[in-house]
């Protein structure tokens, strides 16, 4: 299957533009809330085990900046120049170097004890081949015994009634989130609807390829990794059949 660049009428390279980058950060709330970000940084610092870390799709530095403040040297790979520009308002190239490129194939200098992907970002690669290539790229960057960590949601397909193609995944005053699924291609499109004071609303969309945990484990095997652990969150809560997301850790043989 050739790389999928358009899903739901959206090109991946159109999503992470200047407008998106400028409104991406929400300091103190959402995924930037201390109760979300704190455990993430704590766990990654533990997994880095005193070595260097590489973040695939580093974005605006939501995780990389506080992780570097913890004393973990962090390098990033990022496809979106506008997202890197936002990161540069927080940390310069000397503090957090970033390679511009696709996380499935771009190469960062040196080797690392930890490579990590947070907040469903591997789903931005829209084919299985690209996602497998991402695992192999992580393996190329790691020292023997190094770890690859992925944070990823669990597809919500079992709660969708037969014949229905989508579901509301979140709603609050001023916001409505809807996911639509194509089960043949494992593609989903997240629709984000934001309401202002009047009748008008603003819609943004993000195409993804969802991955089941078992498929993720097989991708890891193909890249030479061994499964190490899976938890429901960064605080190491037990992963169960009811968990809506997971943090999975894979390790190269020492």
Pair of tokens at residue 215 = 């498929």
The mean of the pLDDT values for the chain is: 92
Read off the pLDDT of residues 64-117 as tens digits, 9 standing for 90 and up: 999 999 999 999 999 999 999 999 999 999 999 999 999 999 999 999 999 999
* pLDDT recorded at residue 10: 54
* pLDDT recorded at residue 6: 55
Read off the pLDDT of residues 205-223 as tens digits, 9 standing for 90 and up: 889 999 999 999 999 999 9
Measured distance CA(213)–CA(25) in Å, rounded: 28
Quote the percentage of the chain above a pLDDT of 90. 74
Read off the pLDDT of residues 110-152 as tens digits, 9 standing for 90 and up: 999 999 999 999 999 999 999 999 999 999 999 999 999 999 9
pLDDT at 13 over 80: no
């Amino acid at each position: 299957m050739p790389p999928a660049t358009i899903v739901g009428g959206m090109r991946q390279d159109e999503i992470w533009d200047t407008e998106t980058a400028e409104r991406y950060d929400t300091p103190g709330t959402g995924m930037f809330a201390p109760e979300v970000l704190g455990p993430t940084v704590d766990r990654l610092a533990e997994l880095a085990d005193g070595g260097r870390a590489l973040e695939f799709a580093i974005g605006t530095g939501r995780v990389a900046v506080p992780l570097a403040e913890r004393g973990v040297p962090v390098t990033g790979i990022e496809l979106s120049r506008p997202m890197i520009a936002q990161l540069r308002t927080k940390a310069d190239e000397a503090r957090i170097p970033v390679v511009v490129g696709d996380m499935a194939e771009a190469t960062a200098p040196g080797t690392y004890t930890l490579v990590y992907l947070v907040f469903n970002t591997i789903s931005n690669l829209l084919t299985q081949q690209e996602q497998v290539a991402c695992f192999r790229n992580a393996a190329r960057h790691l020292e023997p015994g190094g770890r690859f960590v992925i944070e990823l949601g669990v597809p919500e397909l079992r709660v969708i009634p037969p014949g229905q193609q989508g579901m509301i995944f979140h709603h609050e005053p001023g916001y409505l989130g809807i996911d639509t699924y194509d089960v043949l291609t494992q593609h989903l499109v997240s629709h984000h609807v934001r309401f202002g004071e009047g009748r008008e609303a603003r819609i943004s969309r993000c195409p993804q390829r969802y991955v089941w945990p078992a498929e993720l484990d097989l991708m890891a095997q193909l890249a030479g990794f061994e499964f190490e652990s899976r938890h429901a969150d960064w605080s190491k809560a037990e992963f169960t059949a009811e968990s809506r997301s997971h943090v999975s850790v894979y390790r190269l043989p020492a």
